[in-house]
Amino acid sequence: GAVVSQHPSWVICKSGTSVKIECRSLDFQATTMFWYRQFPKQSLMLMATSNEGSKATYEQGVEKDKFLINHASLTLSTLTVTSAHPEDSSFYICSASGAGGSNEQFFGPGTRLTVL
């Protein structure tokens, strides 16, 4: 149980385009979802926290107009990177908590974004 999926697993796009990444909790209702970014050889960096039905809370330094997060249901959150630039190339990972009423986070497999 407690499986989280992400789609797509990798994406290559041109500079200036927008990219949407989906995060789904497959077998539980995720009251909270988290979006992380990881650059090579670095640790995960929390970008934002989202609760179902409410606006996401962004970490300091993360542009909310650039990284749009929607958590419209208890099993789906989306991250849209708008007007992507090469410096946005990174590994994006989501996690979800709420399985069995627990705060334990379960992580998705990640999405590798490359912006040309």
* Residue 60 or 65 with smaller CB distance to another protein: 60
- Contact residues toward another protein (CB under 8 A) are 32, 34, 38, 43-44, 46, 49, 91, 93, 95, 97, 103-110, 112
Q: Is the peptide bond before 8 cis (omega within 30 degrees of 0)?
A: yes
Candidates 4, 1, 2; CA nearest to 93 is 4
Q: How far is the CB of 49 from another protein (least distance, A)?
A: 7
Is the Cβ of residue 13 or residue 46 nearer to another protein in the bound state? 46
CB of 74 to another protein, least distance (A): 15
Give whichever of 33 and 81 is closer to another protein, judged by the CB atom: 33
Task: Compute the least distance from the CB of residue 97 to another protein, in Å.
Answer: 5
* H helices, E strands: number in the chain: 0, 11
Q: What phi and psi values does residue 7 have, to the nearest 5 degrees? A: -145, 135
Output the smallest distance, CB 112 to another protein, in A: 7
| Burial category of 98 from C-beta neighbours within 10 Å (exposed 0-12, middle 13-18, buried 19 and up) | buried
